[in-house]
Amino acid sequence: MKIHVITTMIALVVFLIAAIWFSKKKYKINLSVLGLGAVAFFVSSQVLEKIVHLLVLHPQKDGTVPLMTENPLLYVVYGVCMAALFEETARLVFFKWLEKKRALEDSDALAYGLGHGGLELLYLGMGSLISLLILFSLLESSNPDLANLLPKNTLETVQSLSGWQVYLLGVERVLALVMQIGLSFWVYQAVRQKNWIYLVTAYGLHAFFDLAPSLSQVGWISNPLLVEGLLAVEVVLFVYFTKTILYKK
């Protein structure tokens, strides 16, 4: 199983580097904007949003969240709304700030999206894969006591994983990256054209994209192929919708 994890990790890093290189070469993206997009992702979703989660959800020491079991529907609604609120607002703040510095360009939306989604890919995707790699190493250790240190639920989940499920984690990160780039264009156009319907649309689309994974998290969708299949269809339709609405020829 470790080979599947390592292969996925390498593939994600190569994909991200290739995407940045291609965007820099063809669209002349500003690497400073890319870096600031990464910072905006981290501050908005991994600092500010996490603080709100701690205050509202009161996660337990074992990582469980009471609301998830007591009222899973409310947990799902809360989760998708908070993710959309913090990440899209970060985009809004950034583009409004950048607009005061200089004229906005289409490449800024691409650069921001690559930074935002790229760090998400590395921080969340690679973080999950590294955790899996460590867990598989513990399970394969010659010392059985190490595996016994793991919580029972974690142990059962890791032991039930198949190779294709590991690769699905990589696919999900790529789909998320495409989504983050697309959403950046919506908020960018909202600021550039002063059309706030685009901003509202970005909030709604972000929440919608997070719906299937959130339903899976509470156990209402148990098939990972269904989750990723839904995400893939959503992303394809989203790309077409974005090109049609924002860039009419």
Residue 134 is predicted with a pLDDT of 82
Residue 60 is predicted with a pLDDT of 82
pTM recorded for the entire structure? 0.92
Residue 180 is predicted with a pLDDT of 97
Q: What percent of the chain has pLDDT over 70?
A: 92
- Three-class SS of 123-134: HHHHHHHHHHHH
Residue 100 is predicted with a pLDDT of 96
Which value, in Å, is the radius of gyration of the alpha carbons in the chain? 19
Q: How confident is the model at residue 132 (pLDDT cuts 50, 70, 90)?
A: confident
Token pair for 72: 């899973």
Q: Give the DSSP letter of residue 126.
A: I
Rounded mean pLDDT, 28-33 = 96
User: Which of 52-61, 125-134, 157-166, 189-198 has the weakest average pLDDT?
Assistant: 157-166
Token pair for 237: 């339709």
Query: Per-residue pLDDT tens for 34-91?
Result: 999 999 999 999 999 999 999 999 888 767 888 898 999 999 999 999 999 999 999 9
Residue 61 is predicted with a pLDDT of 76
Residue 147 confidence (pLDDT) above 60: no
CB proximity list for 74: less than 8 A, separation 6 or greater = 67
Residue 152 is predicted with a pLDDT of 63
Q: What is the DSSP string of 190-233?
A: HHHHT-HHHHHHHHHHHHHHTHHHHHHHTTS---HHHHHHHHHH
CA pair distance 153, 140, nearest whole angstrom: 18
User: Which of 79-83, 145-149, 205-209 has the weakest average pLDDT?
Assistant: 145-149
Return the closest-CA partner of residue 9 out of 124, 114, 138, 125.
125
Rounded mean pLDDT, 142-150 = 59
Calculate the average pLDDT of the chain.
Answer: 90
Residue 139 is predicted with a pLDDT of 72
Task: Let me know the angle formed at the C-alpha of 69 by 155 and 146, rounded to the nearest 5 degrees.
Answer: 15
Residue 188 confidence (pLDDT) above 80: yes
Contact assessment for residue 242 and residue 179, using Cβ atoms and an 8 Å cutoff: no
